[in-house]
Chain A
Amino acid sequence: MIRLENVHKIYRDGDQQVHALSQVNLNVARGETLTIMGPSGSGKSTLLHILGCLDRPTKGRYLFDGKDVADFTEPELARTRNKRIGFVFQSFNLLVRETALENVTLPLLYAGERHPTTRGKEALDSVGLSHRYGHRPGQLSGGEQQRVAIARAIVKNPDIILADEPTGNLDSQVGSQIMKIFKKVNEQGISLVIITHSREVARFGDRTITIRDGKIESA
């Protein structure tokens, strides 16, 4: 479903070039769970942003479902993010002034969904938050906020969910609960790409790759 061919990402920092990713080749199959490990600054997040159509490679090809993302216009990238890719971040990235339900229905509203509330409630129910529809992020625990973020990712029924250290801000018990939810999501045929520093989380994947200095060291 996802294929990276010789992808490079180079940032400019004044006169210097920073190679965030070099010669990255990667495939993610439908329904697969891939975990990515590596030290801080190794390029994991950059890779995730490219996979999430939030950024474009400087060189190389990124094929999403056989189509070259380089050919996508800005609205097409937005539509891809909106309908086909779910995001879960370490810091949850919820809208603090919106309720849990409103946060979950956000992508549906941008997709022009006519009954977002029903689907939003279903998503929150599936992550065990049926009693928290009207709560704002500030009124929820870290684990609950992350569950809201997962509900926001799955509500659009995506092809893939990209998670950037989803348990990084949670204690091990809550982290384990979150991973169980991810497992359930994966069982529905949704691919997962999870960045993690935790070997425990990494074990959860079908496959783990390690990135160092922008290059994939082991696959």
Chain B
Amino acid sequence: MPRRVHNWSPTPLNFAFLRFAMRGLTRRPVPTLLVLFALTVALACTMTLRAVLAGIEEQVENDLKRVGLDIINIHVSPSMENMFQSPLHLGHCARFEEITGGEAAPFRVTLGVATSIENTNPTRSIVLAVPPGWNRMVPLEWLEGGFFKEGDRDSCVLDEWVAKHLSPQDSLVGKEIRLIYEGKTRDVTVKGVMKDPFEIRSQFDEFDFVGSARSRMLGMMEFKSIYVLNTQQDPDSPIHGAIVKIPKGKDPSLLEDKLIEEFSTLGDSIWIWARISWVSQVLRATNIGTSIAQAVGFIVLIVVGVMVTTISLVAIRERYREIAIRRTEGGLRLEIIGQLLTENVILSGTAGIIAILASRLAGTIIEARYISWTPAHKPEDIFIVLGLGLLLGAFATILPAYRASSLDPVEVLRLD
């Protein structure tokens, strides 16, 4: 006797699967809603978590890109000895350029005090003496004004933080401030105010998941500086460091290694690091959080999987009589399993779709109320969530469905 051929063309049986499944779902509203709710919550949580975590990584990466990833920082290690007897001098810049093929801009660092011209609002700050081409080397964002030019001797540029401390209400651009550094007092004109590239000053005290990663960056780059023109010409003039802009197509990490090797004789007195190396450092910090959160998400899914399996087990047990009748009338075990699977595929697919919409909404609410970055909803997450939902639904059904299809219909109907 020939076996029945299972093809999934739209025969009445296949449509009947859908109809049976829909009827099975709508006629048992309590287990259906329980499973739908549990699956939706689990999937929405997983998707929201993924979006929030992906948002952190994207935000950190974008933050770093905004301060330039094609730059190698070279500076003396922070000690009083190095501040006053720096091992670096202006002549080193030529060597930096030779090794990297890029462009080097030296800087000198001094601690200074800025006040208004009326000697009010004294603000301690770092004074960075930089060449006029500095603004070509690093991407700067301006609140107002711009960078000084060659010959702008008595001028300066302020970081946003400094400008706000000196004059909380009024603009300082075009006005004079008083600057005390290197033992001298100078009245200089403010040419521009630079925006904090991370825009985090106001949020830094808030608790957020990115806090730890961002504080690392903040420790490496303090945006509380005053920039003045460096007029040094003598190659033996001491400098506290330089930034080197790497030409396009070259790997900053490799050049970083070369520079470290070349200046190994200076030992720990200078630090050389490519900004791109920060990305991996910072992302490593965020990745720990990501891994923990993903593990939590995974546990939630397992718990929900067990819960849905239990509900399915009870729901299918209530249908033993129906299954026995189907078997008596010629339903194959595979067809019985197929029907029950179809029900849960519809249910978990619906839960997946609702979860996608819910996670978008949750992301918006979380962003508005709790975090300072935008959750990143990636297109592949839709497939992951739908896939997870279907997998979870199938996992929860397959065992109870297999058990139900294996029952002896005679026994079931007799007991009934």
- Looking at A75, A82, A108, the one whose CB has the most chain B CB atoms below 10 A away is A75
Q: Which residues of A contact B13 (CB under 8 A)?
A: 109-110, 112
Q: Which residues of A contact B208 (CB under 8 A)?
A: none
A87 at the interface (CB under 8 A from B): yes
| Complex: A81 Cα to B335 Cα, angstroms | 15
Q: How far is the CB of B22 from chain A (nearest CB, A)?
A: 11
Q: Which residues of B contact A108 (CB under 8 A)?
A: 12
A93 at the interface (CB under 8 A from B): yes
* Residue in B330, B331, B413 whose CB lies within 8 Å of A83: B330
B16 at the interface (CB under 8 A from A): yes
Q: Which residues of A contact B410 (CB under 8 A)?
A: 49, 54-55
Closest 7 CB pairs of A and B: A82-B330, A109-B16, A110-B330, A107-B329, A76-B1, A109-B13, A81-B330
Q: Identify 26 residue pairs between A and B in the complex whose beta-carbon atoms are under 8 Å apart, listed by A's number.
A: A54-B409, A72-B1, A73-B3, A74-B332, A75-B3, A76-B1, A78-B327, A81-B328, A82-B329, A82-B331, A87-B328, A93-B328, A95-B326, A96-B322, A97-B27, A97-B322, A98-B23, A106-B326, A107-B329, A109-B12, A109-B16, A110-B13, A110-B329, A113-B12, A116-B12, A152-B329
B416 at the interface (CB under 8 A from A): yes
- Looking at A78, A98, A152, the one whose CB has the most chain B CB atoms below 10 A away is A78
> Known contacts A67-B1, A76-B3, A79-B1; is A112 also within 8 Å of B329 by CB?
no
Nearest-CB residue, chain B, relative to A50: B410
| Complex: A78 Cα to B2 Cα, angstroms | 12
Nearest-CB residue, chain A, relative to B13: A109
A157 at the interface (CB under 8 A from B): no
| A interface footprint on B296-330 (CB within 8 Å = 1, 0 otherwise) | 00000000000000000000000001100111111
Q: Which residues of B contact A18 (CB under 8 A)?
A: none
> Known contacts A82-B329, A82-B330, A106-B326; is A112 also within 8 Å of B4 by CB?
yes
A80 at the interface (CB under 8 A from B): yes
Q: Which of A33-80 contact B (CB under 8 A)?
A: 45, 49, 52, 54-55, 67, 72-76, 78-80
A110–B328 CB distance below 8 A: no
A112–B11 CB distance below 8 A: yes
> Known contacts A91-B416, A109-B13, A114-B11; is A54 also within 8 Å of B328 by CB?
yes
A79–B329 CB distance below 8 A: no
B416–A80 CB distance below 8 A: no
> Known contacts A93-B325, A93-B413; is A110 also within 8 Å of B331 by CB?
yes
B65 at the interface (CB under 8 A from A): no
Beyond the given pairs A79-B1, A110-B326, 9 more chain A to chain B contacts, judged by CB atoms under 8 angstroms and listed by A's residue number, are A52-B328, A75-B3, A78-B332, A87-B329, A93-B321, A106-B325, A107-B329, A110-B332, A152-B329
Q: How many A-B residue pairs have CB under 8 A?
A: 81
A111 at the interface (CB under 8 A from B): yes
Q: How far is the CB of A118 from chain B (nearest CB, A)?
A: 11
| Complex: A96 Cα to B23 Cα, angstroms | 11
Q: How far is the CB of A115 from chain B (nearest CB, A)?
A: 8
Nearest-CB residue, chain A, relative to B28: A97
B12–A112 CB distance below 8 A: yes
A75–B332 CB distance below 8 A: yes
| Complex: A74 Cα to B325 Cα, angstroms | 16
Q: How far is the CB of B379 from chain A (nearest CB, A)?
A: 39
Nearest-CB residue, chain B, relative to A74: B333
Q: How far is the CB of B16 from chain A (nearest CB, A)?
A: 4
Interface residues on chain B, size class: 20 to 34
Nearest-CB residue, chain B, relative to A86: B329
| Complex: A114 Cα to B13 Cα, angstroms | 9
- Looking at B12, B322, B329, B335, the one whose CB has the most chain A CB atoms below 10 A away is B329
A89 at the interface (CB under 8 A from B): yes
| B interface footprint on A144-156 (CB within 8 Å = 1, 0 otherwise) | 0000000010000
Q: Which of A180-204 contact B (CB under 8 A)?
A: none
B330–A97 CB distance below 8 A: no
B413–A89 CB distance below 8 A: yes
Nearest-CB residue, chain A, relative to B322: A95
Q: Which residues of A contact B327 (CB under 8 A)?
A: 78
> Known contacts A67-B1, A82-B329; is A110 also within 8 Å of B335 by CB?
yes
Q: Which residues of A contact B23 (CB under 8 A)?
A: 97-98
| Complex: A82 Cα to B16 Cα, angstroms | 16
Q: Which residues of B contact A98 (CB under 8 A)?
A: 23
Q: Which residues of A contact B413 (CB under 8 A)?
A: 89, 91, 93
| Complex: A112 Cα to B7 Cα, angstroms | 10
| Complex: A82 Cα to B333 Cα, angstroms | 13
Q: Which residues of A contact B27 (CB under 8 A)?
A: 97
| B interface footprint on A7-28 (CB within 8 Å = 1, 0 otherwise) | 0000000000000000000000
| Complex: A111 Cα to B3 Cα, angstroms | 12
Q: How far is the CB of A87 from chain B (nearest CB, A)?
A: 6
| Complex: A83 Cα to B322 Cα, angstroms | 19
Q: How far is the CB of A164 from chain B (nearest CB, A)?
A: 10
